[in-house]
A and B are shown apart, each in its own frame.
Chain A
Amino acid sequence: MSRYFVDRVSRRVVYIFGVVAFLILVFIAIFILKESLPALKELGIVNILFGAKWYPSKDTFGILTMLAGSVVTTLLALAIAMPLALGCAIFLAEVAPPHIRNIVRPAVELLVGIPSVVYGLVGMLILCPVIARLSGTGSGSSVLAAAVVLAIMVLPTITSISEDSLRAVPARYKEGAFALGATHWQTIHHVLLPAARRGITAAVILGTGKAIGETMAMVMVIGNSPIFPASIFRPARTLTGNIAVEMASATGIHESALFTTGLVLFILVLLINSIGLLAYRRRA
């Protein structure tokens, strides 16, 4: 048995594994589409996408409120997370001495490893009561609670990719800026950040994809009311939450409408992640 034989065989095997990973995606897409068809046929995509009322018991399945819920919570979460993440990335890449960096960086990355349900629990037991007291009404289940929890959850994604991008800026740019008499902060602001722009954009977009797909923590803190998010202190419902909350007890067209919700989400996340990956690959 020659070593070339082993070589050939292992190449085939990993080739098959690669194809399998791709096929899994295709099968999931086909399955979701197939399960959505009854609802799409009976109700029409327009009625589902642009319907503002969700009353399964009256066969009314409009997901516009949840589309709005997902978009608003995600944007608010990004607005909270971006300054934090960017500041953290600059700190780690440029400011922090090595021994502090060696503590902070793993700590930020560990945030990824905390299960979603734990974030939800902390949000529900600590954050919601605080928000209820701030707003003076309701239970604290709100768009704001969801956005704060989401912001913490996407923080590590945005921070680490932004930091990598800042570090990937060629050293001669920085040296050039210093040589021209720029201070450290001027260099960061006018040279490093613009040069790392693409990578930071990609980081934010990938964070968006993660945020919009988050489920368990959202279900626990947003209140799951199928209404438009009129105020950040009021509840709303996300696309993911719609599926998670109702799937267990749904039958027939209701179940199919939930799969349609999943289809919309699937396409949304696919689009966002593709844009993010494109931006990431094209970074300088």
Chain B
Amino acid sequence: MKKRLFLVPLVGLILAALVMGGCGHSQSGTITEGGSSTVQPLADKWAEAFMAKNPDVNIIVQGGGSSAGVKGCAQGTFDIGAASRELKSSEASQWPDLVVTHVAADGVAIVVHPSSSIANLTLEEVKNIFANGSNDTWTVISREEGSGTREVFEKKVMAGAEIASNAEFLPSNGAVKQKVASTANAIGYISIGYVDLSVKALSIGGVTCNKDNCRSGSYPVTRYLNFITKGDTEDLIKRFIDFCLSSEGQKIVEEEGYVSVG
């Protein structure tokens, strides 16, 4: 009799594994989305709104970073991968069937402590500050190597120059914002969707960092936020992306502090 007691947890485990395994599949009715931490808050809202209209649909939103989004989509972990950058050439050649859809746009704000007397810098000045690194004048806060936000910052601001190794490297928009907000001489960069009163977004070359200037392209550090799918997407996935691109979906983009497209 006692021997059977061993079987109870065993059977339970097997059952649990079966049930969980069943959920993981992308059957009709479930979409798994994941990747960029910049896109995540937006994807959460889209999923919420879409599920409210389609009660039978279940959308799972995960983080992980842009590269994880691309890789996850290519390898089938995610139905939709989120990336706050374009595909790298290495990714495009490794997985040629990936399709990129611009679902929103975003500005990268250069932020300083609210008490700072500086309100405007040129691109060149920002570049020099980040290339020279932390010193008595500035505490430079950057994102980690491989971050989508860092990639667009390097492309549009650094233009080939390296961010100094003695800068601080923090792994998320939220962490950079917190650090800048608590350090008097800090300078960092975060997605415009994360900017609030705890930090001050600098004008670049006289152009204010706001959504209108990002949309018009006069603010220089902007990028697209992307959904990445495999070529032959299921109907449901297509319907979800169409919803994100619809006027209703783009209204959510604006409400969340990002820049709408189309």
B173 near A: Cβ within 8 Å? Answer: no
Which A109-156 residues have C-beta < 8 A from chain B? 124-125, 128-129, 132, 137-141
How far is A52 from B245 in the complex, measured between Cα atoms in Å?
47
Distance in angstroms between the alpha carbons of A1 and B2 in the assembled complex: 10
Query: Is A280 an interface position by the 8 A CB rule?
Result: no
B139 adjacent to A138 (CB under 8 Å): yes
A217 CB to nearest chain B CB (Å): 13
Any A CB within 8 A of the CB of B167? yes
Task: Provide the bound-state CA to CA distance between A197 and B178, in Å.
Answer: 45
The reply to whether A56 and B166 form a contact with Cβ atoms under 8 Å apart is no
Partner of B3, one of A9, A58, A223, A251: A9
**A-binding segment of B97-105, B145-153, B254-262:** B145-153
Residues A128 and B182 in contact, CB atoms below 8 Å apart: yes
Measured CA separation A81–B85 after assembly (Å): 45
Q: How far is the CA of A1 from the CA of B136 in the complex (A)?
A: 80
Q: Are B145 and A139 in contact, CB atoms less than 8 angstroms apart?
A: no
The answer to whether B179 touches A251 (Cβ under 8 A) is: no
Other-chain residue from A13, A53, A57 in contact with B145 (beta carbon distance below 8 A)? A57
Please determine whether A251 and B67 come into contact, CB atoms closer than 8 angstroms.
yes
Chain A residues bordering chain B, tally (CB within 8 A): 39
Q: Is B212 an interface residue (CB 8 A)?
A: no
In the complex, the chain A residue whose C-beta lies closest to that of B146 is A249
Is A209 an interface residue, CB under 8 A from the partner? no
Q: Name A224's contact: one of B64, B88, B168, B183 (CB within 8 Å).
A: B168
B145 lies within 8 A of A224 (CB): no
CB distance from B130 to the nearest CB of A (A): 13
Closest residue to B67 on the A side, CB-wise?
A249
Say which residue of B1, B65, B165, B168 sits within 8 Å of A139 (CB atoms). B168
Q: Indicate whether A249 sits within 8 Å of B166 (C-beta atoms), given known contacts A57-B145, A139-B183.
A: no
Supposing A6-B3, A244-B171, A249-B148 touch, asked if A226 and B165 sit within 8 A by C-beta, the answer is yes
Q: Which residue of A lies closest to B180 (CB)?
A: A139
Contact B169 A252 (CB under 8 A): no
A246 to chain B, nearest CB (A): 5
Which residues of chain B are near A259, meaning CB under 8 Å? Answer: none
Is B141 part of the binding interface, using a Cβ–Cβ cutoff of 8 Å? yes
Q: How far is the CA of A53 from the CA of B166 in the complex (A)?
A: 12
- Asked whether, in the complex, the Cβ of A141 is within 8 Å of the Cβ of B179, the reply is yes
B66 interface contact, C-beta 8 A: yes
Mask: chain B, 109-143; 1 = CB below 8 Å from A; 0 = not: 00000000000000000000000001010010100
Rounded to whole angstroms, the CA-CA distance of A19 and B113 in the bound complex is 55
Q: Which residue of B lies closest to A125 (CB)?
A: B182
Contact B179 A227 (CB under 8 A): no
Instruction: Report the Cα distance A138→B186, complex, angstroms.
Output: 8
The answer to whether the Cβ of A50 comes within 8 Å of any Cβ in the partner chain is no
Chain B stretch 178-236: residues in CB contact (< 8 A) with chain A: 178-179, 182-183, 185-186
Most buried by B among A9, A137, A138, A246: A138
A238, chain B: closest CB distance, angstroms: 12
Write out the residue numbers on chain B whose beta carbons fall within 8 Å of the beta carbon of A219: 171
Whether A249 lies near B139 (C-beta < 8 A) is no
| Cα of A58 to Cα of B154 in the assembled complex, Å | 13
Contact (Cβ within 8 A) A245 B144: yes
Complex contacts, B139 vs chain A, CB 8 Å: 137-139
Bound Cα distance from A139 to B165, whole angstroms: 16
Interface residue from B136, B146, B148, B169 paired with A250 (Cβ < 8 Å) = B146
List the A residue with the shortest CB-CB distance to B179.
A139
Q: Is A235 an interface residue (CB 8 A)?
A: yes
Residues of B within 8 A of A224 (CB): 144, 168-171
Assess whether B182 is in contact with A251, with CB atoms less than 8 Å apart. Answer: no
A187 nearest CB across to chain B (Å): 49
When distances are taken between beta carbons in the complex, the residues of chain A under 8 Å from B182 are: 125, 128-129, 139
B68, CB-defined interface residue at 8 Å: yes
Asked if B183 contacts A249 (CB within 8 A), the reply is no
In the complex, per-residue mask of B59-85: 1 if CB is within 8 Å of any chain A CB, else 0: 000001111100100000000000000
> Which residues of chain A have C-beta atoms less than 8 A from B248's C-beta?
none
Report if B90 contacts A (CB, 8 A).
yes
Tell whether A24 is near chain B: CB-to-CB under 8 Å: no
In the complex formed, the residue of B with least CB distance to A250 is: B146
Contact with B141, one of A6, A139, A140, A250 (Cβ below 8 angstroms): A139
Contact check, A225 vs B165: say whether CB atoms are below 8 A apart: yes
Query: Which residues on the B side are within 8 Å of A58 (C-beta)?
Result: 162
Q: List 13 A-B residue pairs with CB atoms under 8 Å apart, sorted by A's residue number.
A: A1-B1, A6-B2, A9-B6, A53-B165, A137-B136, A139-B183, A237-B169, A246-B144, A246-B145, A246-B146, A249-B147, A250-B146, A254-B145
Q: Please provide the 10 A-B residue pairs with the shortest distance between their CB atoms, ordered closest to farther.
A: A249-B146, A248-B65, A139-B183, A223-B168, A224-B169, A249-B65, A249-B67, A245-B144, A56-B145, A245-B171
A1-B3, A129-B182, A250-B146 provided; 8 other pairs, C-beta below 8 A? A56-B145, A125-B182, A138-B183, A224-B171, A235-B134, A245-B171, A251-B91, A251-B146
